[in-house]
Amino acid sequence: MKKIKKTIAVIACLTVVIGLVGCAALDSAINDFKGNLVGNDYTIRTYDNYGNLVMTTVGDKINITGNKVKSTSYDSDGDIITNYELSSVITVNIDGNEIQSCGDTCIFEEGGLQPEAVFSQDDILSQSNDITDWTSITGVVNKYKNLFGKSRVVVIKSQLGQPITAYSGDKVYWEIPKDLPKMTKLMIDGEALYIHRANFQIIDKELLD
């Protein structure tokens, strides 16, 4: 009986692992681990408020870290409370050196990720014909789908709304890193893309067909 239970437990674990192999959230976690340990290879493009490219940085071993600053407040008894909050400054560790950045629009593009900088003004016209399109259902379903990645187009704009570039992929996942200020991380078909201080839209491809 014990052997049967162990066999069932092993099969269950293997099923979970196999299910997670294609999970975009797992890809992101592995990318974070590698980045914190040895660094990932990125092309970093920096833009001004109008979307003009002002600097391109390329490195083999790069990671991004936030910077915490100490702040104080008072409780109801008048005692001082010390807190640590993320500042607006990010530190980019690049092949043994550093870049500090604050306020600029930066796009961190990993490895073989290639932008599709084709901009056309498309209207999105959608129509619901099924009960499964109810927002009470799709809100939950889409959160689940995001963990595994969905077919999406990512349009990135400057802080003043000027189009900069666009990316697309069959398995796109996004998250908000807790330890990086004003940063959004995406995994696009297994490659990481960080967006710092920029306007953007992540659109399901089905809405653009």
Q: Tell whether the model's pLDDT for residue 158 goes beyond 90.
A: yes
35 vs 106, higher pLDDT:
106
Report the distance separating Cα 185 and Cα 108, nearest Å: 9
Q: Tell whether the model's pLDDT for residue 6 goes beyond 60.
A: no
pLDDT bracket for residue 73 (50, 70, 90)? confident
Q: Is the dihedral angle over the CA atoms 100, 45, 26, 141 positive or is it negative?
A: positive
Q: Which helix (H) or strand (E) holds 87?
A: strand 80-94
Q: Each residue of 118-133: pLDDT tens digit?
A: 555 566 565 667 765 6
Q: φ and ψ at 140, to 5 degrees? A: -70, -45
Q: Tell whether the model's pLDDT for residue 185 goes beyond 80.
A: yes
What is the percentage of the chain residues whose pLDDT exceeds 70? 78
Q: Tell whether the model's pLDDT for residue 86 goes beyond 70.
A: yes
Report the distance separating Cα 72 and Cα 94, nearest Å: 33
What value does the mean pLDDT of the chain take? 81
What does the pLDDT read at residue 66? 92
- The amino acid present at 149, given as its one-letter code, is G
Q: Is the dihedral angle over the CA atoms 187, 188, 192, 193 positive or is it negative?
A: negative
